[in-house]
Every structure is written in structure tokens, then in C-alpha cells.
């Protein structure tokens, strides 16, 4: 820092301002803080203050919350939400742990395939989880009707907590597998050798070495699964029935009853447990990082026939269920009239007769996801670069880092609702002065949709970029500076090219999630910009479940296509990188 | 007056630099000068402030007080980019996606014509002995080669100062020894004033024209390698560079004589402690290789009877420990480095009694 106070020597021959590079960087980090403040902090603030006012906009303190908790019809949803999320989380973490254990600690074959197949649900909107369940366990479901009467039927009572929990388990399972495989892979082989040599039994080793080793991964998986299930909107919308939960309540309050204040109140009720879970998860992750810092010897599982066969059977079963689940959806979308006329046709893919926007909505979604991917990747990577690779300016950098973590704690519905309140406001009265809203122009445009996605998925992109940047030599910037090369040239010539794999990954993540998300955008889309995921929700509302299913399948196919494209691009980038490495 | 004269000749002048990080003082009023083309090595244990000093000279940290001049121009608050310094880091920080030529040319873009850049780069490639490696990527080169690319890249823009931050510590011992002389030769040829930070005393001794020894933020000695080794200014310098025997609780008797227990040790010219008065408590010091052992009688001054206590074979020499009785009930342990040939000749064995002599001109005196 050039302007640290103190010191008797302040040579005046050269003003410090000549360090233009430093000032550009400072300005940019300030911009990062500024845009995150406008896109995250201010809308959130607007939402919070909305929850403390009455319909006329007068401040009423906690009156709304007192009313909420004194009205069982409303507050019952909190218990329901907690119940389904805790059950989902328990089931998901147990299933995910076994699966991840199979992938990392046993000698089963085809691990790449198993890893990929488990990730399938990540490409689908959660609405599809609900729709596929309807086709399996709904009133006319494949299993409810015993495969169209060939077997005895089984009605599991889908609509309500059962359906929500199954859908959310499918939704959260890949996340649990991802987090737990990373944790399980990091374990130190020497600990196991030590345990073996001390004559500990397998079971003792599992409880004394394996579980403590993945403690933080487990904590993280527990809280991430909880947050995902607690805040998801898509699946409960389809299979929730009369079982009220917070996410669907917000939607009903805002869209159904136009009660924005109560919508804001429920949002805050949803937000509080989410933020707590988020903080616990952050804490756990920080500990996990400290755990890896020590050098360790990677563990190579040795074949153990009985164990390996058991895990292979388990993994096959899981993959069969996941693929069967999505196959049902694809099949249902192609069937003429489920369950009466099972001949195949593409009628449901002809959305012309349907509400929701049809192919226009689908292509809007693609456009929106593409813009979100480009803008989000640029912002996430650029901000991570400025925060990670600047010297000095500690306060600013920490501020930018904190703001960048914030979006991860915000459910999509909360972002969507906060954006309505903030961007739709024409202005604010402050100390008797009217300030017009300079951001109002973005309301009901493609811009606000893209912005909501950029913010919604920002933190994961930011963290991916930070991890990649941390692997670069800290002195690249210093060396360039000493040679009087401006930082942006080094950024474009060295930093960005070397981080290209991470940049592609962030882009893919943005695209796939923007395609599938419904929660934030359902409040923000306008009639002239319909979206595919919103169309699914609306068609499902109207009882057009087959076309809704067809639209979901289109989204999944698009996302798989993008994932394949990502794979190809990554491979060609890798080939280039290997050229740098080849001897 | 003499000081003024020196000022004019000094190419790099560092004046009373103080640097704090929070409450910690990393540099305490550090001052030194370097002549044009001089190779200065900053040596000290980790945490002594040597890297901070280099970063302050580079402009990567701004000092809390003090000034830095190069060619009499005050650079104290210049940003790095305007200081004209070439830096080689321990990690080299070569750009992995650029080949050797692109790495070396990195700082030249926009400052020279394209054809001139080409000429300059091939000149540098030749200089560091990497002709024909231009299109290789850093990862394809050995550690030593990467080192030389980093060096070529640093000197490409013809900097006024070359700053080396532990430049050899990432290499294995053999390559390191070879590169020491190579860097030294290159530096002489370019005549670029160089400051190198190292924690490796051998590196500092073999490469530098002058060594600055630092300890806890203070510059404790500034001298030629010979000065530093032969006349270490403080017990810290003495034990940090090479090894040193200390004889504690000595008292100055009269000019040139010191009492240690019942013994009187003579020190030629009061080595290092001319200003001390009679009765002052001092510490005497002698390097292991200066400790002489029998059998030439007990008649020379400073000869004590020692008892062998521990012998360690090191090839050409033995490291022998002696237990010396001081006569007042105390005894001390002295390490000595004795040529293997002498051990053989005198048939030195464990527990053997041997006369041990401290040559008067090799003892040093430090105030206690």
C-alpha cells in the first residue's frame, strides 16, 4: 500500500499515483464489490425491509412474523419443510456415502461410468424428478398400476411428503456423492497401514480411521443436502399435493394471492435456516482444507472379492434406478396417451397447442443460459482473479470475497422475490428525498433473468476459479510487474489460458444450471420472454403433464449435449496443455 | 568527508529502511550500499527479514521509513514497474504456456521493434547456453535450464538491478554448485548490480563480492566473505556462518590476556574487542579448524590438556570433541576439525589425553 501513514520519509519527487496499474486494479475490485452490492445486498435488504412492513408500506416491526407463527396454516409449513429436508438429507447422505465408498475405496470396475451415471440428475430440472415420479407412482403410474396391469399394483401415496422426499433424494444424491468422494479420496494410506499393523479389525478401522477422516466431508454433505432439499421448489410443486412447504408457500403467496408481504415473510423464514446451514458448511470446509494441507500418501484399494461384489451390486442398482427413472420420463414423453394408448409418437413435443410458450420458451432458455454462462464465467473468474492475485488492498479483497460467498446461501426463490421488490421499485424515499431507481430499466427484460442466474450460481463459479488460480505460481504477477508489463496483458496471455479448463467448467456449470432452474426465474420472466422451465411448471399446473415431461426431456438432452461439448473442448485443451508438458 | 566520497560511487544506496507488518518489525533501520556491478548477498536464517529487504528494494513492499537510491535517483516510492529491476524467484515463475523464446521476450514487447526483440532473445539464449531450446516449453526443461531461462528473462530488459530470491534452493546439490559459478560468471559479464537473498552460507560465501548478514530485522554485518568468516562481528554471525566454539565466562585480565578458570589465554591484538576495560566479562571464540592438537609439547601459549570425547569421521577430516578442565571445577567442550592424516599419525582414540592449543591470532573476543 502506498499510503500507509507514518514514517518520516515521504519522498516527494515521484507521486505514488503514477502506479496506474495498481489504481486500475483497485478500481476493478471496487467495481466487484459494487456490483455484488447492487445485485445481492441491496435486493436482499429490500426483501428484509418488505417483511417488516404492512401492505401499505408502513413499518410494523415483527408483527408479520408474529402473525405468521400464530397462524398454524402458515407456520405448519416450516415443520413440514424441516421434516422432508432432514429425512432427505439422512437418506441421501447414507446412500451417497455407500456409493462414494464404492467409487473410491473398493476395486469395482467401470468407475468412470458409475461416477458419470450418478451425476445424471444434475442435468435435469427438479420439476422432472416430480414428473417422472408421477409416471411411476402417480394414480396412473407404472408401478401403481402394476406395469399396466401385468403385476399387482402398489400405491405408495405419492402426493405429499413421500413424493417430495423421493424427488429430493434423487436431486441431492449426486451432490452427496461428489462431496463424499472428494473427502474419501483424500485419506492417507499410511493411517490404514498403521491401523492394520496394530492389528485393528476392519470395523474398528472404519470407525476409528475412515469416519474421522471424512468427518468434515460428511458435515458438508449433510448441510448441502439439507439446503438443497429445504429450498427446492420444482419437485414439491409437482408432487407436493396438499402438503405445504415453505418454497411452495412463497410461490402461492406471491403468484396465487399477490400477497407480497407474506411472500417476503416466508422468504425470511426460509432464509434463516439456510444461512445457518451454509455457515456450518463453510466452517467444515475450512477445516477440511486444513486437513489436506499435510502431505499424505494416496490410498489404492486392493481387490477384496466379497466386498467388491457387494458394492458393485449396490452401484449397479443405484444406476439402474437413476437411469430407469429418466428412461421412464423419456418413454412417457413419447407415449401417445398414457396409460391407454402406448404407441409412440412425437405429439407431446409439438407444443403449439399448449400454454407456456413452446419452442420459443425453449430457445429463450438456451439464449438465457448462454448469456448467463458468458457473463457469469467472466464475472466469477475476473473477480476471483482480482481477489486472489492482487497485492495489498486487504480490506477491499476481503470485502469482495465475503460478498462473493453470499449468493451460495440464497435460495433461488429468495433471489427471485428480492429482485422483484428491488428492480420493480420506481424509487426510494430516504430522509424525505426521493431517489429514482436507476436499475429499474432491467425489470422484465432478458437482463434481469441473466442477472438472477449469474448471481444464483456465482459462488460455485467463484470458488472453482479461486481453486484454479491458487495453483498458479504466486509470482507470475510480480514478475510481469517488474518487467513493466500491465497486469491485464499477463491475465489474457498467461492466467486465463492456463486456467482454461476451469473457465470451461464454470461456463458449463452456469449453462446447465440456468437451463434447469425454475425457482428464481419463475418470479422474473415476463410474458414476452417465456422460459422452458417455467413452461414446464405452467403446463403441469394446467394438467398437461405429458408435454411438461417432453419439455423437461428437451432440457436434459440439451444439458447432456452441452456436457459432451464441454468434454470435447476440455480434451482438446488438455491435448494442448500436454504439449506444454511433453518432453 | 570520506563518507561523501563513497556516496558518489555507490550505485545502489539503501538508507535506514524500516518495515513493519502489523506489530512485527521485519526491517530495523537497514542501510547498505552497493557499487556498480557488485554482487551482494543477503544472508540470514528464515524470518530475519532478508526477503522483505529484497521486496522493498524491488518495490513489492513499501517501507515505513527510509529511502532507496539507484544512480542517485530516489526510487523510494516508485512502483515495481518503474524501478527497472529484474527478479528471479525461487520458483522461477516461468509462464507454462509460453515457450522459452516467448518467456524471455515477455518484458520486451512494445519496448523494442520486433526484429530487435528477436535479436536480443537469441543473444540471451546464447548467453545462458540454451541455443536451440527456444521453442521448448518450461516443463520440458530441467530445473537448471529453467533457472537459466528465468535469469535470461529477468535480464532481457537490461534492468538496473538484478534481484535473486533464493535462486538455487529448488535445485539438487550438484546442479546448484555448477549454477553458482555460472550465475556468477554471467553476472560479471553483464556487469549488472545484483542482490541475492539466500539462507545457504556456502552459496553466499562462494558467489558474493559482499555479504550482508541479517538477524531479526537488523543488519548485523556487512563485509566480504573473507571478513565475515574470519572476523564475524557477533557470536550470532560466528555461529550462523560455519561453526564456532565459544568459551564463556572469560574475564579480561590485561591487554591481550584473558582469564578462563585457572588458565590465562593470550589473544593477539585483542581480536575484536580493543575497547574493553580490565575485568570485563567476555566470550572467547575459535573455529574448529583453528583448534590445534599436540604433540608439540605443552610449551606454546594457550595449550590446555584435553580428553577426547567423541570422534566423527568425515572423510578428509575428523570432527573431534575434547573435554577441557578449566581448573576451577568447570570444564568445557571444544570441537576441533583435525585432518584425517594427523589423527592417524597421532593415533588419536576415544578418551585419550591430548594437548589442545588455541593459536593466539585465531581467538576472537566478544563482549559478554
pLDDT digits (tens, 9 = 90+) for A72-90: 888 999 999 999 999 999 9
At A191 the pLDDT is 81
Cβ contacts of B121 on chain A, cutoff 8 Å: none
Q: Which residues are registered as beta bridge partners of B306? A: B324, B354
Cβ contacts of A479 on chain B, cutoff 8 Å: 87, 89, 93, 153-154
What is the mean predicted confidence (pLDDT) over B44-62?
A: 92
Do A9 and B66 count as a contact with CB atoms less than 8 A apart?
Answer: yes
Average pLDDT for chain A: 88
Residue count (chain B):
368
φ, ψ for residue A500, nearest 5 deg: -50, -45
Q: Which of B106, B141, B162 to mutate to test the interface with A (most CBs of A within 10 A)?
A: B106
At A153 the pLDDT is 82
| Nearest residue in chain B measured CA to CA from A2 | B62
Count of Cβ atoms closer than 10 Å to residue B205 Cβ = 18
Cell 420459443 -> residue: A360
How close B177 comes to chain A (CA, Å)? 25
Answer whether residue A415 shows pLDDT above 60. yes
Taking the C-alpha atoms of residue A116 and residue A125, their distance in angstroms, rounded to an integer, is 17
Where would I find the H helices in A155-243?
161-185, 189-197, 202-205, 211-213, 215-231, 234-239
From chain B residues 125-154, the ones with a CB under 8 A of any chain A CB are 137-140, 153-154
Higher pLDDT, B298 or A230: A230
How close A479 comes to chain B (CA, Å)? 7
Q: Which of A482, A490, A502, A575 to mutate to test the interface with B (most CBs of B within 10 A)?
A: A482
At A466 the pLDDT is 93
pLDDT bin (cut points 50, 70, 90) of residue A295 is low
* A150: its cell numbers: 401385468
Helix, strand, or coil here: B71?
coil
Answer whether residue B36 shows pLDDT above 80. yes
The CA–CA distances, whole Å, from B49 to A139, B15, B218 equal 76, 16, 8
Q: Which residues are registered as beta bridge partners of B321? A: B335
What is the mean predicted confidence (pLDDT) over A551-560?
A: 95
Q: Which of A481, A483, A574, A580 to mutate to test the interface with B (most CBs of B within 10 A)?
A: A483
Do A7 and B82 count as a contact with CB atoms less than 8 A apart?
Answer: no
B91-128 pLDDT, tens digit each: 899 999 999 999 999 999 888 888 999 999 999 999 99
Where would I find the H helices in A52-141?
63-70, 72-105, 111-118, 126-137
Side-chain half-sphere CA neighbours of B298 within 13 A? 6
B76 touches chain A (CB under 8 A): yes
| Nearest residue in chain A measured CA to CA from B89 | A475
Q: Where are the beta strands (DSSP E) in A289-376?
A: 335-337, 341-344
Q: Is residue A25 within 8 Å of residue A393, measured between CB atoms?
A: yes
A582 touches chain B (CB under 8 A): yes
- Percent of chain A having pLDDT more than 90? 60
Chain centre to alpha carbon of residue A493: 31
| Nearest residue in chain A measured CA to CA from B151 | A479
Average pLDDT for chain B: 89
Q: Which of A479, A492, A502 to mutate to test the interface with B (most CBs of B within 10 A)?
A: A479
Do A481 and B153 count as a contact with CB atoms less than 8 A apart?
Answer: no
Which of A474, A482, A583 is facing B80, going by the closest CB pair? A482
| Nearest residue in chain B measured CA to CA from A1 | B62
pLDDT bin (cut points 50, 70, 90) of residue B187 is very high
Do B93 and A11 count as a contact with CB atoms less than 8 A apart?
Answer: no
Cβ contacts of A394 on chain B, cutoff 8 Å: none
Do A482 and B87 count as a contact with CB atoms less than 8 A apart?
Answer: yes
What sign does the CA torsion over A15, A16, A18, A24 have? negative
Taking the C-alpha atoms of residue A505 and residue A492, their distance in angstroms, rounded to an integer, is 18
Cβ contacts of B80 on chain A, cutoff 8 Å: 478, 481-482
At A16 the pLDDT is 45
At B298 the pLDDT is 54
DSSP state of B277: P
A496 touches chain B (CB under 8 A): no
Highest mean pLDDT among A7-16, A184-193, B141-150 belongs to: B141-150
Answer whether residue B69 shows pLDDT above 90. yes
Within 8 A by CB and 6+ apart from B87, the residues are A475, A478, A479, A482, B58, B154, B163, B164, B165
At B296 the pLDDT is 59
Instruction: Kindly state the greatest CA–CA separation across chain A.
Output: 93
At B55 the pLDDT is 93
| Nearest residue in chain B measured CA to CA from A579 | B137
DSSP state of A131: H
Do B81 and A482 count as a contact with CB atoms less than 8 A apart?
Answer: yes
CB pairs under 8 A between A and B: 119
Which of B64, B91, B97 is facing A473, going by the closest CB pair? B91
Q: Which contiguous run of DSSP H or E holds residue B300?
A: none
Side-chain half-sphere CA neighbours of B194 within 13 A? 30
Count of Cβ atoms closer than 10 Å to residue B199 Cβ = 17
B131-185 pLDDT, tens digit each: 999 999 999 999 899 999 999 999 999 999 999 999 888 888 888 888 899 999 9
Answer whether residue A192 shows pLDDT above 70. yes
At A291 the pLDDT is 56
Cβ contacts of A11 on chain B, cutoff 8 Å: 67, 74, 76-77
Residue count (chain A):
583
Q: Is residue B250 within 8 Å of residue B233, measured between CB atoms?
A: no
Taking the C-alpha atoms of residue A228 and residue A232, their distance in angstroms, rounded to an integer, is 6
Do B91 and A583 count as a contact with CB atoms less than 8 A apart?
Answer: no
Q: Which of A475, A488, A499 to mutate to test the interface with B (most CBs of B within 10 A)?
A: A475
B107 touches chain A (CB under 8 A): yes
At B294 the pLDDT is 77
At A296 the pLDDT is 62
From chain A residues 421-480, the ones with a CB under 8 A of any chain B CB are 473-476, 478-480
DSSP readout, B170-185?
Answer: TS-HHHHHHHHHHHHH
Which of B91, B98, B109 is facing A475, going by the closest CB pair? B91
Closest to A208 measured CA to CA, from A200, A217, A197: A200
pLDDT bin (cut points 50, 70, 90) of residue B261 is confident
**Sheet harboring B24-35: ordered strands across?**
B24-35, B10-21, B65-70, B73-74
What is the mean predicted confidence (pLDDT) over B69-90?
A: 90
B2 touches chain A (CB under 8 A): no
Model confidence, pTM: 0.86
Long-range contact set of residues B274-281: C-beta below 8 Å, sequence gap at least 24: B276/B252, B276/B365, B276/B367, B277/B252, B278/B252, B278/B253, B278/B254, B279/B251, B279/B252, B280/B251, B280/B252, B280/B367, B280/B368, B281/B249, B281/B250, B281/B251, B281/B367, B281/B368
Which of A19, A483, A582 is facing B157, going by the closest CB pair? A483
Which of A11, A489, A577 is facing B76, going by the closest CB pair? A11
What sign does the CA torsion over A155, A160, A165, A170 have? positive
Say whether the peptide bond before residue B275 is cis (omega within 30 degrees of 0): no
B293-338 pLDDT, tens digit each: 876 555 677 888 899 999 999 999 999 999 998 877 888 999 999 9
What is the mean predicted confidence (pLDDT) over B188-193?
A: 92
Which of A19, A483, A583 is facing B79, going by the closest CB pair? A19
A458-505 pLDDT, tens digit each: 999 999 999 899 888 889 998 998 898 889 999 999 999 999 999 999
What is the mean predicted confidence (pLDDT) over A529-534?
A: 94
Q: Is the ipTM of this complex over 0.85?
A: no
pLDDT bin (cut points 50, 70, 90) of residue A361 is very high
Closest to B364 measured CA to CA, from B221, B225, B267, B252: B267
How close A474 comes to chain B (CA, Å)? 8
Do B81 and A582 count as a contact with CB atoms less than 8 A apart?
Answer: no
Which of A473, A478, A493 is facing B60, going by the closest CB pair? A478
| Nearest residue in chain B measured CA to CA from A583 | B140
A58 touches chain B (CB under 8 A): no
A42-65 pLDDT, tens digit each: 999 999 999 999 888 888 889 999
- Ramachandran region of residue A335, left (φ > 0), alpha (ψ -120 to 50) or beta? beta
Amino acid at each position: 500500500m502506498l499510503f500507509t501513514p507514518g514514517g518520516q520519509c515521504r519522498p516527494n519527487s515521484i507521486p505514488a499515483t503514477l502506479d496506474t496499474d495498481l489504481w486500475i486494479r483497485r478500481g476493478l475490485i471496487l467495481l466487484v464489490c459494487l456490483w455484488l452490492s447492487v445485485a445481492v445486498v441491496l435486493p436482499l435488504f429490500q426483501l428484509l425491509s418488505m417483511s417488516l412492513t404492512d401492505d401499505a408500506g408502513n413499518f410494523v416491526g415483527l408483527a408479520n412474523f408474529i402473525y405468521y407463527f400464530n397462524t398454524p396454516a402458515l407456520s405448519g409449513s416450516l415443520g413440514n419443510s424441516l421434516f422432508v429436508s432432514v429425512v432427505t438429507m439422512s437418506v441421501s447422505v447414507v446412500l451417497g456415502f455407500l456409493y462414494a465408498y464404492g467409487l473410491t475405496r473398493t476395486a469395482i470396475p467401470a468407475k468412470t461410468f458409475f461416477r458419470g451415471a450418478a451425476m445424471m440428475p444434475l442435468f435435469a430440472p427438479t420439476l422432472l424428478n416430480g414428473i417422472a415420479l408421477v409416471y411411476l407412482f402417480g394414480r396412473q403410474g407404472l408401478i401403481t398400476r402394476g406395469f399396466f396391469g401385468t403385476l399387482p399394483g402398489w400405491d405408495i401415496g405419492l402426493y405429499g411428503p413421500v413424493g417430495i422426499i423421493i424427488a429430493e433424494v434423487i436431486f441431492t444424491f449426486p451432490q452427496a456423492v461428489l462431496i463424499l468422494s472428494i473427502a474419501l479420496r483424500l485419506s492417507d494410506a499410511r493411517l490404514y497401514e498403521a491401523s492394520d499393523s496394530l492389528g485393528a479389525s476392519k470395523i474398528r478401522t472404519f470407525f476409528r480411521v475412515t469416519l474421522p477422516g471424512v468427518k468434515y466431508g460428511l458435515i458438508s454433505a449433510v448441510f448441502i443436502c439439507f439446503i438443497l432439499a429445504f429450498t427446492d421448489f420444482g419437485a414439491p410443486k409437482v408432487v407436493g399435493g396438499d402438503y405445504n412447504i415453505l418454497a411452495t408457500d412463497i410461490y402461492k403467496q406471491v403468484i396465487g394471492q399477490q400477497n407480497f408481504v407474506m411472500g417476503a415473510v416466508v422468504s425470511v423464514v426460509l432464509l434463516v435456516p439456510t444461512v445457518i446451514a451454509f455457515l456450518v458448511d463453510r466452517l467444515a470446509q475450512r477445516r477440511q482444507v486444513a486437513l489436506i494441507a499435510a502431505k499424505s500418501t494416496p490410498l489404492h484399494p486392493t481387490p477384496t472379492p466379497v466386498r467388491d461384489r457387494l458394492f458393485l451390486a449396490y452401484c449397479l442398482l443405484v444406476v439402474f434406478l437413476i437411469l430407469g427413472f429418466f428412461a421412464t420420463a423419456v418413454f412417457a414423453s413419447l407415449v401417445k396417451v398414457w396409460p391407454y394408448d402406448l404407441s409412440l409418437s412425437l405429439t407431446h413435443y409439438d407444443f403449439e397447442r399448449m400454454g407456456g410458450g413452446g419452442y420459443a420458451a425453449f430457445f429463450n432458455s438456451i439464449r438465457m443460459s448462454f448469456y448467463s454462462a458468458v457473463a457469469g464465467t467472466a464475472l466469477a473468474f475476473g473477480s476471483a482473479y482480482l481477489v486472489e492475485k492482487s497485492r495489498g488492498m486487504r480490506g477491499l479483497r476481503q470485502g469482495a470475497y465475503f460478498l462473493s460467498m453470499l449468493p451460495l446461501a440464497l435460495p433461488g426463490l429468495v433471489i427471485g422475490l428480492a429482485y422483484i421488490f428491488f428492480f420493480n421499485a420506481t424509487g426510494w424515499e430516504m430522509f424525505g428525498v426521493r431517489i429514482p431507481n436507476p436499475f429499474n430499466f432491467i425489470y422484465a427484460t432478458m437482463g434481469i433473468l441473466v442477472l438472477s442466474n449469474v448471481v444464483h450460481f456465482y459462488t460455485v463459479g467463484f470458488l472453482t476459479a479461486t481453486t484454479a488460480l491458487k495453483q498458479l505460481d504466486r509470482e507470475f504477477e510480480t514478475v510481469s510487474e517488474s518487467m513493466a508489463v500491465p497486469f491485464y496483458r499477463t491475465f489474457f496471455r498467461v492466467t486465463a489460458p492456463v486456467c482454461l479448463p476451469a473457465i470451461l467448467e464454470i461456463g458449463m456449470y452456469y449453462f446447465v444450471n440456468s437451463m434447469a432452474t425454475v425457482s428464481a426465474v419463475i418470479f422474473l420472466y415476463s410474458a414476452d420472454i417465456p422460459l422452458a422451465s417455467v413452461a414446464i411448471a405452467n403446463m403441469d399446473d394446467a394438467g398437461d403433464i405429458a408435454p411438461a415431461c417432453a419439455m423437461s426431456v428437451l432440457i436434459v438432452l440439451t444439458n447432456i449435449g452441452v456436457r459432451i461439448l464441454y468434454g470435447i473442448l476440455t480434451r482438446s485443451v488438455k491435448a494442448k496443455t500436454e504439449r506444454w508438458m511433453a518432453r | 568527508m570520506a563518507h561523501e566520497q563513497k556516496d558518489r560511487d555507490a550505485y545502489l544506496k539503501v538508507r535506514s529502511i524500516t518495515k513493519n507488518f502489523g506489530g512485527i518489525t521485519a526491517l530495523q533501520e537497514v542501510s547498505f550500499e552497493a557499487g556498480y556491478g557488485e554482487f551482494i548477498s543477503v544472508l540470514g536464517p528464515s524470518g530475519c527479514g532478508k526477503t522483505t529487504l529484497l521486496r522493498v528494494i524491488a518495490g513489492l513492499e513499501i517501507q515505513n521509513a527510509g529511502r532507496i537510491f539507484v544512480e542517485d535517483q530516489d526510487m523510494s516510492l516508485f512502483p515495481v514497474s518503474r524501478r527497472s529491476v529484474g527478479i528471479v524467484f525461487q520458483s522461477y515463475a516461468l509462464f507454462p504456456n509460453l515457450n522459452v523464446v516467448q518467456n524471455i521476450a515477455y518484458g520486451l514487447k512494445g519496448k523494442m521493434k520486433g526484429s530487435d526483440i528477436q535479436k536480443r532473445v537469441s543473444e540471451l539464449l546464447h548467453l545462458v547456453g540454451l541455443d536451440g531450446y527456444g521453442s521448448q516449453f518450461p516443463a520440458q526443461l530441467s530445473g537448471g535450464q529453467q533457472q537459466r531461462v528465468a535469469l535470461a528473462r529477468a535480464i532481457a530488459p537490461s534492468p538496473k538491478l538484478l534481484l535473486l530470491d533464493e535462486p538455487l534452493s529448488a535445485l539438487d546439490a550438484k546442479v546448484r554448485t555448477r549454477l553458482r559459478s555460472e550465475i556468477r560468471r554471467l553476472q560479471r559479464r553483464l556487469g549488472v548490480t545484483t542482490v541475492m537473498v539466500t539462507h545457504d552460507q556456502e552459496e553466499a560465501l562462494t558467489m558474493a563480492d559482499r555479504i550482508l548478514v541479517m538477524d531479526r530485522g537488523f543488519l548485523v554485518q556487512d563485509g566480504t566473505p573473507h571478513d565475515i568468516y574470519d572476523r564475524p562481528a557477533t557470536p550470532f554471525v560466528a555461529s550462523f556462518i560455519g561453526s564456532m566454539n565459544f568459551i564463556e565466562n572469560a574475564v579480561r585480565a590485561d591487554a591481550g590476556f584473558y582469564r578462563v578458570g585457572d588458565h590465562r589465554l593470550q589473544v593477539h591484538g585483542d581480536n575484536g574487542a580493543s575497547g574493553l576495560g580490565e575485568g570485563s566479562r567476555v566470550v572467547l571464540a575459535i573455529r574448529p579448524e583453528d583448534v590445534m592438537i599436540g604433540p608439540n609439547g605443552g610449551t606454546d601459549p594457550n595449550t590446555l590438556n584435553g580428553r577426547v570425547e567423541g570422534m566423527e569421521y568425515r572423510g578428509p577430516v575428523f570432527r573431534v570433541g575434547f573435554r577441557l578442565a578449566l581448573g576451577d571445577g568447570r570444564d568445557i567442550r571444544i570441537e576441533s576439525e583435525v585432518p584425517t592424516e594427523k589423527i592417524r599419525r597421532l593415533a588419536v582414540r576415544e578418551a585419550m589425553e591430548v594437548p589442545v592449543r588455541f593459536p593466539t591470532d585465531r581467538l576472537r573476543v566478544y563482549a559478554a
